[in-house]
Amino acid sequence: MSAFYTGLRKRVVLLSSLLIVLTWIASSLATRTGIEQASDEQLAQRAQAVAWLMLRAASQTDEPVTGDALIRQLEQIGDSLGETMAYEFGRASDDQAMRSSSFPELSNEAANGFSRHSDDGGDWRVFTAMSEDQSSWSRVAFTPTEPKPLTEMLLLTLQQPLVWAITLLGLLAIAIQNRCFTPLKKVEDALANQDLLNPRPLALDPARLPRDVRPLVTQLDRILDQTKNLLEEQRTFAYGVGHELRTPLAGCLSQVQVAQRIEDPSRLKQSLAKAERALLQMTQLVDQLLLLARTDPSAPLENPSRITLSALVQESIERRTVTAQREGVVLKWRVDGPHDSEIEAKPELVRTLLTNLIDNAIRYSPRGGEILTRVDCSDDRWLVLSVSDQGSGIDAKESNQIFSPFYQSETGKSSGLGLAIVRAIVKAHGGDVSAHRRPMLGTEIRVVLPRA
């Protein structure tokens, strides 16, 4: 968690810094471009004004020197302003036009307006002004991309507060990140202090956490609580397995020790028979453990088949009749409802489910009691299988706990694995199981399964 927290924070800081730098670069480029465009436009307007002034001033005299003198004066003014412009003045009657030494080589053919030209000196933008009678012209040329002192001064003036603003924005972003990550650091510290064998809630007050972090803490507390319950169930399960195996193991060991000391064949046979029953009991328990381990409620059934539930109920009743008679209990069954009782299921698992339900009812029924297995087909989507006994009943607070492996009730009886296997089988078939206390006396285990 610490590595994740540190790595996440580094990534956020890096991305924020990169975003700030890109913002600064984009702002600087946009500012420079805007200032240069405005400066170029200002130069263009100035060149246009100068070109017309040159044309008007030169048109007032026929002396060529006047145009030449005007060009020298304009160059001096441009130099004092820190601007580089080149000037040209010509008449159609003259063979050679007067121009600045830096003026680009252009043809004498020109039209009013702006044009662009390139030579060894670079790229030029030229404005040409023609007299009305087309007898004279003036040109002003300048380089738009040439750095200008005014542009640099404006850039420096505008970028200084921009640099300060971006610096403050970066500091503010770091402060916000620290504030946002502080709750995650608290969660990290709380998780780091957890005992894996005895998890507990994070002990973080949701009211003092940001709203976006509260669901995370709530879900973590729920997961920790589920983990704690799972660990407790595993401890109970391990204890139950040990307890259930200890009794038949002790009986088997005792009978083997007795068999080693006796010589009477009949007594030896009795001891071996008792040891065999103990071994069969342990074998049955191991088979149940394997079945419970193989039945994954979250996994889809493999190769289910369409079966008739009522037929399996009748078969199971017939197989358990002898056992019920030996315990003095009567088994009855019936089917209610107009629909059939077909389901998509694994027959061997449904047989195990029915056997466990009937055996559980026999175990808790008094002699002379009656056990009713009923299939309710009245619903067109679900089948309801219920097994009712006439025992002492079940407390409401234990109605869910009896489906846990080896649950020890207040009467001291263990639920073993029978009902836990029932729940696993029902869940694997997409159904639900519940226990209810009957209005008069006894318990009803109710299984709801989807129709085929």
* pLDDT tens string 112-166: 788 888 777 677 888 888 887 777 778 888 776 555 565 566 666 766 776 777 7
| Assigned token pair, 79 | 């130099």
405: left (phi over 0), alpha (psi -120 to 50) or beta: beta
Distance CA 235, CA 244 (A): 14
Residue 281, CB-side half-sphere exposure with 13 Å CA sphere:
18
Return the closest-CA partner of residue 424 out of 350, 335, 325, 327: 350
Distance CA 408, CA 416 (A): 9
What is the structure's pLDDT at 267?
85
Is residue 401 within 8 Å of 419, Cβ to Cβ? no
Residue 340, CB-side half-sphere exposure with 13 Å CA sphere:
9
Is residue 113 within 8 Å of 47, Cβ to Cβ? no
User: Any idea what the Cα angle at residue 234 is, between residues 228 and 236, rounded to 5°?
Assistant: 105
Q: What is the pTM of this model?
A: 0.54
| Assigned token pair, 240 | 């139950």
What is the structure's pLDDT at 387?
95
SS (H, E, C) the chain: CHHHHHHHHHHHHHHHHHHHHHHHHHHHHHHHHHHHHHHHHHHHHHHHHHHHHHHHHHHCCCCHHHHHHHHHHHHHHHHHCCCCEEEEEEECCCCCCEECCCCCCCCCCCCCEEEEEEECCEEEEEEEEECCCCCEEEEEEECCCCCCHHHHHHHHHHHHHHHHHHHHHHHHHHHHHHHHHHHHHHHHHHHHCCCCCCCCCCCCCHHHCCCCCHHHHHHHHHHHHHHHHHHHHHHHHHHHHHHHHHHHHHHHHHHHHHHHHCCCHHHHHHHHHHHHHHHHHHHHHHHHHHHHHHCCCCCCCCCCEEEEHHHHHHHHHHHHHHHHHHCCCEEEEEEECCCCCEEEECHHHHHHHHHHHHHHHHHHCCCCCEEEEEEECCCCCEEEEEEECCCCCCCHHHCCHHHCCCCECCCCCECCCHHHHHHHHHHHCCCEEEEEECCCCCEEEEEEEECC
What is the structure's pLDDT at 435?
92
Pairing of β 330-336 and β 136-142: unpaired
Distances (CA, A) of 15 to 2, 4, 8, 11: 20, 16, 11, 6
One digit per residue, the tens of pLDDT, for the chain of length 452 reads 445 445 556 666 677 777 777 777 777 777 767 766 776 677 677 777 777 777 676 666 555 445 566 667 666 655 655 556 788 877 777 666 777 777 787 766 667 788 888 777 677 888 888 887 777 778 888 776 555 565 566 666 766 776 777 777 777 777 776 777 777 778 878 888 888 788 888 878 877 777 878 888 888 888 888 888 888 877 877 777 777 778 788 888 888 888 888 888 888 888 888 888 888 878 877 887 787 777 777 677 788 899 999 999 999 999 999 999 999 999 999 999 888 889 999 898 999 999 999 999 998 899 999 999 999 999 989 999 999 998 888 887 888 888 888 776 655 565 678 888 899 899 989 999 999 988 777 899 999 999 98
What is the structure's pLDDT at 4?
47
What is the structure's pLDDT at 263?
81
Q: Tell me, what amino acid is at 111?
A: A
Q: Tell me, what amino acid is at 9?
A: R
| Assigned token pair, 29 | 């480029």
**In degrees rounded to 5, what are phi and psi of residue 414?**
-95, 140
What is the structure's pLDDT at 13?
66
